[in-house]
Structure 1
Amino acid sequence: MIIEVVRSGFVESRHRVRAIGLGASGDRVIEYGEAGALVSPRSAMKPLQALGMLRAGLQLDGELLALAAASHSGEDFHVEGVLKILGSAGLTEDALQCPVDLPLDPEVANRLLASGGRPSRLRMNCSGKHAAMLLTCVANDWPLESYLDPAHPLQRVIRQTVEDLTGQRIAATGVDGCGAPLFVVSLSAVAHAFRDLVLAEEGTPERRVADAMRAHPEWTSGTTRPEAALMRALPGLLLKSGAEGVDVFAHADGRAGAIKVEDGAVRARVPATVALLRDLDFDAPELAELAAPAILGGGRPVGHVSAQTLTQGRP
């Protein structure tokens, strides 16, 4: 799959995308590029990290569980949720080890700065995950200072959970932007893992994660984010994005997929995801705008982003 950025009739850039699509039965029905190759899914792994925390005794549900699996926009309600999680552990913002950052949402960031606010750990997009990690540690009487160490009991549980759900041994362990361990697996393995989340029995830890995220999409991303828009447009869809051009999704009927923009271009991610969703026969009116976002010049539309799938990868 190729994502083209067109400005004033000229193809300004092209971005190659790897993708895999699974049918309702779980069979691979679409493949662009080598979906079995290793990737670093980045924040797309957060639902699996949240599952590992539930398996370790984390007691969260609803919007706060969605926040534990979120790359949130740093809106006020996200911050309030993080403080609730920390408060239930008897902790404050000082216990967080994610970096200080501004909100991901530009308007929220501008309002914060205009009112005299400053970057903080609470506003950092991974603070919900970090707060939930700390709460899990408190529940197990595990050390708090080293909760991001790959050898920490919490991270060992999360690693085992990722291997269980993906069905693969982790090929490599790195450090994510927030400081937490990140795991390298194949793109296809993550798609299958998301499928297992949505198809699990109701009430299981797997379904609790999927159901919380689907019921509260604004808590997993933000009120204006395309991830939330896609989940609202396609009821039953679980979707999580990751840095460097990753999206992974699964639907209640068993269809699932994952994309990786090879050069990590953020602008190409959502159109590629919409193209894969359409390849899997999903449709909704909202997909049209997300599929071809406008390119602006001087504040007015002068081009668009679109997916070119001239050779469809059907096995």
Structure 2
Amino acid sequence: MTPSAARTPATPDTAPCLPVLAEDVRSGFTEGHHRGSLVLLAADGSVELALGEPAAPVFPRSSNKPMQAAAVLRAGLDLSGERLALAAASHSGEGFHLDLVRKVLGEHGLSPDDLQTPPDLPLDPVEAETYLVSGQVRDRLAMNCSGKHAAMLAACALNGWDLAGYLDPAHPLQRLVHQVVEEATGEEVATVGTDGCGAPLMAVSLVGLTRAFRGFVLAEPGSVERRVADAMRAHPEYVAGTRRHDTWLMREVPGTLSKVGAEAVQAVALADGRALAFKIDDGGARALGPVLARALGLLGVDAPVVARIGRAPLMGGPAEVGEVRAAF
């Protein structure tokens, strides 16, 4: 399939008024709202709840990474375990992440100089402080997408494909990613943009995104989709980090596949095929946890980690004076 033309940008007169998914309440006063779209799928794949416009295309950002990881497997790259989880990661930049990116590159005759990720600090604030105190500077390896890029480069080296152009949408690897995204979501890519890491970014609907995640967890054992899902679920700390909600959720709710994306996108599939995806329209990441916790509750997930994910206190000096809370 070929991507359709990009949608005409919405104007104030045509932009949809999306429902409020979360609100900021400080000292008993509601000071802000986070609107967006959300979809929940039942175990049989039917839509259980739809809020906003979940059938409209969005950029899933890093929630597309499981599909990108499946594409490098389709290209013949033999990854498993932590290495495959890292290929689907938005890693925190912890030492074990950076060490494994270096190893993956070295195993395929590559080096960090081959990465085309933008120089960055570790994504995790604690790791970023430690990184800077140690005298290090922004680096391509530290950027949270370096595991994905390392896997893409390795797939190119294996196939004799151009390394310098691996981020070109017309590159054989990116054409394969495009194909995998359309097959997994069951819909045509609406438009192709550029992600923050420089890789091509395929726009699909939230319904399509949930369909993809559901398909990965229910795929036949040994299929590329199931291999990606199994690696991510077995090694969630390599998908995110030790202080990240994707890690907590996959570790504490067995069989769950979870992946956050920039601009407040989240997709989750449970072991039995229940799934969810949402996009906070303003990109407000602080609303992610409360909305995710509420959505998991509506899907019937009853685990202590849900309350932990949903905590988003607002501070007034050293004291908690409010919270970001779900509003649906």
User: TM-score band (shorter)?
Assistant: over 0.9
TM-score for the superposition, normalised by structure 1: 0.96
Q: CA deviation at 1:183?
A: 0.5
* Structure 2 match to 1:302: 321
2:216 maps to which of 188, 192, 197: 197
* Structure 1 match to 2:66: 47
Equivalent residue letter for 1:166:
T
CA distance in 1, matches of 2:190, 2:49: 24
Q: CA deviation at 1:9?
A: 1.1
Q: Could you list the per-position Cα deviations for residues 260-306 of structure 1 after superposition, in whole angstroms to 9, with x for gaps in the alignment? A: 10111111112111111111111111211322321112122111111
* Structure 2 match to 1:20: 39
Q: Could you list the per-position Cα deviations for residues 197-247 of structure 1 after superposition, in whole angstroms to 9, with x for gaps in the alignment? A: 000011111100000001111100110011111222211110000111100
Contact 1:61 1:208 survives alignment (8 Å): yes
* Structure 2 match to 1:313: none
1:83-232 mapped onto 2 (5 Å cutoff): 83-232=102-251
CA distance in 2, matches of 1:299, 1:204: 50
SS at match of 2:304: coil
SS at match of 1:198: helix
Contact 1:163 1:169 survives alignment (8 Å): yes
Q: Which runs of 4+ in 1 moved over 3 A?
A: none
Contact 1:22 1:256 survives alignment (8 Å): yes
Contact 2:292 2:309 survives alignment (8 Å): no
Equivalent residue letter for 2:268:
F
The farther-off stretch of 292-301 and 104-113 is 292-301
SS at match of 1:286: helix
Q: Could you list the per-position Cα deviations for residues 52-102 of structure 1 after superposition, in whole angstroms to 9, with x for gaps in the alignment? A: 110111111001100000000111000011011101111110000000000
Contact 2:207 2:277 survives alignment (8 Å): yes
CA distance in 2, matches of 1:130, 1:286: 31
1:64 maps to which of 58, 68, 83: 83
Equivalent residue letter for 1:134:
L
Unpaired stretches in structure 2, ≥5 consecutive residues: 1-19
SS at match of 1:4: strand
Percent of pairs with identical residues: 54
Equivalent residue letter for 2:250:
M
Contact 2:63 2:261 survives alignment (8 Å): yes
CA distance in 2, matches of 1:270, 1:291: 5
Equivalent residue letter for 2:286:
R
CA distance in 1, matches of 2:68, 2:315: 37
SS at match of 2:203: strand
* Structure 1 match to 2:55: 36
1:9 maps to which of 17, 28, 35: 28
SS at match of 1:16: strand
Contact 1:17 1:272 survives alignment (8 Å): no
Q: Could you list the per-position Cα deviations for residues 134-189 of structure 1 after superposition, in whole angstroms to 9, with x for gaps in the alignment? A: 00001111010000000000001110110111111111000000000001111100
TM-score for the superposition, normalised by structure 2: 0.93
* Structure 2 match to 1:269: 288
Contact 2:216 2:225 survives alignment (8 Å): yes
1:239 aligned onto 2:258? yes
Contact 1:275 1:307 survives alignment (8 Å): yes
CA distance in 2, matches of 1:22, 1:115: 46
Q: Alpha carbon RMSD of aligned pairs, Å? A: 0.9
